[in-house]
Structures are given as C-alpha cells and as structure tokens.
Structure 1
Amino acid sequence: MTGRAYRGLSAEQRLADRRERLMMAAYTLFANPGFPATTIERLCTMARVSNRAFYECFSGREALMQAVYDRCVDETLQAVAKAMAGAPNSLDARIEHGVAEYVAFVTRDPRRAHIMHVEVRRAGDCLITARQRAVGGFSRVMEEAAAAYPTRTPPNTHLLVLALIGALQELLIEWVLAEDPPSADDLVATAVHIFRRSFNAGEATDER
C-alpha cells in the first residue's frame, strides 16, 4: 500500500494504527459485554475509526476476534514456555511452573481469561481452527517437557496432554463464570494435582 503521509504517518502506519485501536477496543468489549453483544458500530466508536476503516482492517467481527484471540494465546504461550524453561530440572517442577504461570498470566487480566476461555466459544464455528491451533501450541510445550523424562511418559502422551489441557480450560471457565469464583491459588493447586497424578509424579526420581 502506498500513499502520502498524513500528520506524519504513512498510509501503512495509519492502517496499522487503526488496526491496533480496533484490537484494543475488541479486547475490552469482547470481554464485556461479550462477543455476541458487541457490534461493529460500537467497536468503531470506541476505537475512533469509521465503519469503512474497519473493513480496511478486518473482514468482520470474527476476523477481529481471531486476531485478538491469537495475540492472547501467543503471549500466554511465551509466558508459559519461559516459566517452564526456567524451572528446576524435574518434570514435577516444570509442570508446576508451567501451570502456575498459565493460570497467573490468564487471570492477571480478566479480559484475557474471558476471551480465551468463554468468548472464543461464543464466536462460533469460525474460530474452531484458531482454538485447535492454540491447543496444539500448548500441547507441544507440555509434550516436549514430558519427553525429557521418558520413564514418566504414559503410553500416549499426546492424548493425555490434550485431556489435561481440557481440564485446565474448564477450571478457567469456572473462574470466569462462577458467582463465587475460586482463587487463582486454588486453580493452580487443583491443576497441578491433576497433572502430577496423571504423570505419576513423585513415584520416580527424575532429577538429572
């Protein structure tokens, strides 16, 4: 895209600025009042862009939701991978650090928790592929950690990790939707208990 500068910004920079403002507006509005209740007009009003500018950036609400969701997932994956890499060299420690960082990072901003665990489902079938990519990313991190400790690896690590990720997602949905939500510490303790039991943690020494 080419074009003359306006207020010191090139056409590309103006487009990037509008796109970012729409994503920030969506990050707030898709969390509350939620994806179904958020219109393009409301997004444009908060982002201070025109409807025409919206469609220069995104094909529709679903495309905007995917962009916001993908960013949330990428940031969370980076935080979890960093936490696990810095953990003591045992499967127990890496599980605990990874789970604790996932819960802490997601719940630190309730908007992120809403988008990743509730609103992405309300967006419908168009986000299924994005959700599958996210699950695949988290499963790879966990599987790579488990692969370093082959004596602790179950017959089908991939399926087990998928089941554990599903359990963790349900815990976060409870945190988002419950009238009296559990504490983040309780979420971590429960998730770590499930993960450790699933990998028979504590039954073998895996320090290296």
Structure 2
Amino acid sequence: MTAEQRLADRKERLMSAAYTLFAGPGFNATTIERLCAAARISNRAFYECFTGREDLMRAVYDRCVEETLLAVSKAIGEAPPDTDSRIRAGIAEYINFVTRDRRRAKIMHLEVRRAGDILTPHRQRAVTGFTQIIEENLGEVPGEPGGRLHLLSLALVGAIQELLIEWVLADVKPPLDGLIDTAVHIFRRSFG
C-alpha cells in the first residue's frame, strides 16, 4: 500500500472503531487509547488521521448524516407525487434508516450532544439539511408565510429527534410504526 492508502485505511479503521465505541460506552467514556486499541493502530497514527476525539466524532457524525440524507431523499423521490405520501415516505425512511443500526441512532441523537459545543455547528447543519427537505417537499402551504413554514419544519425535525432519543434510551423500545405514526400526526396537525 502507498502511504496515502495506509492513511486512508487507518482513518477508516478509526471511524469503524469510533462508530462502535461512541455508541457503546459513549463519547465521554471512549479514550483515544481505547480507540487506537480497537482500530489496531498506535496513538501517534491516530494524530496523523484526526486532531482529537471531537474531530473523529465529527467525521463519524457527518457520515451518518450524509447517509441518512441520501436515504431520505431517495425515499421521497420514489414516493407518489402527493405531498402527504412524500412526507410519510421521508419520515418513515428517516426513522427506519436511523434505527436500523442502533449505533447510528445513538450517535446522531445523543452522543453528538455529549461531544460538546465543538460539534454544534455540524449538528445545526444536519438540522438545516433535514428542515430543507421538509420545506422543499411542502412547497407553499396556503395561509402559511415562509417564515412560519421554516419554523414548523424545524419543530418537526426536533420532534422526530426527541422520539428517537426516547427509542434509544427506553428499556422497552416503542414500536417504530408508533414513532412514524406520531411524527406523521404531528406533521399533519402542524401543516394540515
């Protein structure tokens, strides 16, 4: 392998280790030494790939968000053209995709917050991305000025996040269909 390929391989191994450890014991309990042991690399090699744990968390979080945005956009694009079907498809895909791997759900909805203020801009960028998907698929809502549409879309993103935090933390997981139906109900009541 070339030096570039070795670096890419180390980065990928660290991201894989972080995906599991940040979602398992959690961001705060995961040391650089533990990440390096799981990835089978030296501490020195870690710093050739990332500036610190927060930088690694950012990379893992951003990947989770990108994959989720792609899945949601695809589901909406394949849904029937009416607004209700597109929104239901988007909400269902978001919840199903994020919960398909509990690690993704935990990183996206809990651990990113625990990582601290340094990741706030990344989290806000993700919220903006999901809010824009809602706004783009609603178009104009009769009687709703654009500013209110944005705030309602933002509130829906927040509601879904809280539903998923409940799912991650609950000893007895609420059924996914219940989460989807609840989010769709909130959407319909807000925009209906």
Which runs of 5 or more residues in structure 1 are unaligned?
Answer: 1-8, 201-208
Contact 2:141–2:191 under 8 Å retained in 1:
no
- Residues 48-82 of structure 1 show CA distances to partners (whole Å, capped at 9, x for unaligned) of 00000000000000000000000000000000001
In structure 2, what is the equivalent of residue 16 of structure 1? 8
For 2:144, give the aligned amino acid: P
Please, which of 35, 42, 63 is the counterpart of residue 71 of structure 1? 63
Structure 1 partner of 2:92: 100
Look up the SS of the partner of 2:81 in the other structure.
Answer: coil
What whole-Å deviation, never above 9, does each CA across 1:87-139 have from its counterpart, x for those lacking one?
11111101100000000000000000000000001001011000011001111
TM-score under structure 1 length normalisation: 0.89
Query: What is the aligned partner in structure 2 of residue 47 from structure 1?
Result: 39
In the aligned structure 1, how far is the partner of 2:77 from the partner of 2:108?
Answer: 23
**Change in 2 beyond 3 A, CA 1:90/1:153:** farther
Distance (whole Å) between structure 1 residues aligned to residue 18 and residue 175 of structure 2: 26
Counterpart contact for 2:105–2:168, Cα < 8 Å: yes
Q: Which amino acid aligns with 2:120?
A: I
2:117 matched to 1:131? no
Q: How far did 1:154 drift?
A: 2.4
- Residue aligned with 2:130, SS: helix
- Aligned partners of 2:18 and 2:35 also within 8 Å: yes
1:183, distance to aligned residue in structure 2 (A): 1.1
Structure 1 CA distance for aligned equivalents of residues 153 and 90 of structure 2: 13
Provide the rounded CA distance (Å) in 1 between the counterparts of 2:177 and 2:120. Answer: 30
Q: Deviations over 1:21-48 (max 9, x none)?
A: 0000000000001000000000000000
TM-score where L is the length of structure 2: 0.97
Larger Rg: 1
1:153 CA displacement:
6.6
Q: Does 1:154 align with 2:129?
A: no
Instruction: Return the letter of the residue paired with 1:95.
Output: I
Question: Which is further off, 109-118 or 137-146?
Answer: 137-146
Deviation at 1:151, TM superposition (A): 4.4
Contact 1:153 1:199 in 2 (8 A): no
Structure 1 partner of 2:179: 187
Aligned partners of 1:35 and 1:84: how far apart in 2? 32
Q: How many residue pairs get matched?
A: 190
Q: Distance in 1 between matches of 2:142 and 2:42?
A: 56
In 2, Cα distance between the equivalents of 1:160 and 1:84? 19
Matched, 1:90 2:82: yes
Match of 1:117 among 109, 129, 133: 109
The one-letter code sitting in structure 2 at the alignment partner of 1:154 is E
- Cα 1:117–1:151 shift into 2, 3 Å: closer
* 1:55-66 aligned within 5 A: 55-66=47-58
Extract unaligned runs of 5+ from structure 2.
Answer: none
